[in-house]
Amino acid sequence: MVAYQQSDQQAASALVAQVSPPIFQFFLAQSRNRAEAEDLLQDFWLRIHKARATFRPGEPLLPWLYAIARRVRVDHYRKTKGVREHEIVSEQLPEKAAQDSARPAGPKMADLLKSLPESQREVLLLLKVSGMSLEEVARATGVSIGSVKQKAHRAYESLRKRLGTKP
């Protein structure tokens, strides 16, 4: 990142190659729409390019990157919230009714995650999908480590309750 700040083209390419897959997965886990996740990734890299001077050498890179990714996602949600509330996307309508026998017995993970509050889902995805530490998640989300632990615990409890399992 330091070399990218100094306009090193090879460093920029290496950074994009290394960081794009986990950030794309972060966006895809949130939107579950590949095209939207790709658009968010592009916006992310535009913001990184504009904000590259604000990165402090010696500080951890991942929390800084995920904080920007989080802002991209929040801004996109706010921008498109009204459109989603008033439109029905024809791609999402089923062509025929689904048969009950074809469905698995338990709930899908995506549905379980969707049932969680946004802050709990975000913490869970950053911890478990992105593999970030508690400290990194706290920095990326702008909350204390204790708050991250609390949100994760509540998310786990909610998922256990929905699955009918005991801790």
pLDDT of residue 125: 87
Confidence (pTM):
0.56
Tokens matching residue 119? 């802050």
List the domains of the chain with CATH numbers: 1-88 (1.10.1740.10), 104-167 (1.10.10.10)
Q: DSSP assignment of 121-158, as one string?
A: HHHHIIIIIS---HHHHHHHHTS-HHHHHHHHHHHHHH
User: Using N-to-C axis directions, what is the helix angle for 145-163 and 134-141, rounded to 10°?
Assistant: 100
Instruction: Please write the tens of the pLDDT for every residue from 100-116.
Output: 445 555 667 778 888 88
The label of the residue with tokens 């920095």 reads 139
Instruction: Please write the tens of the pLDDT for every residue from 104-163.
Output: 556 677 788 888 888 898 898 888 888 888 998 999 889 999 999 999 999 989 888 888
69 CB-contact burial (10 Å; exposed 0-12 / middle 13-18 / buried 19+):
buried
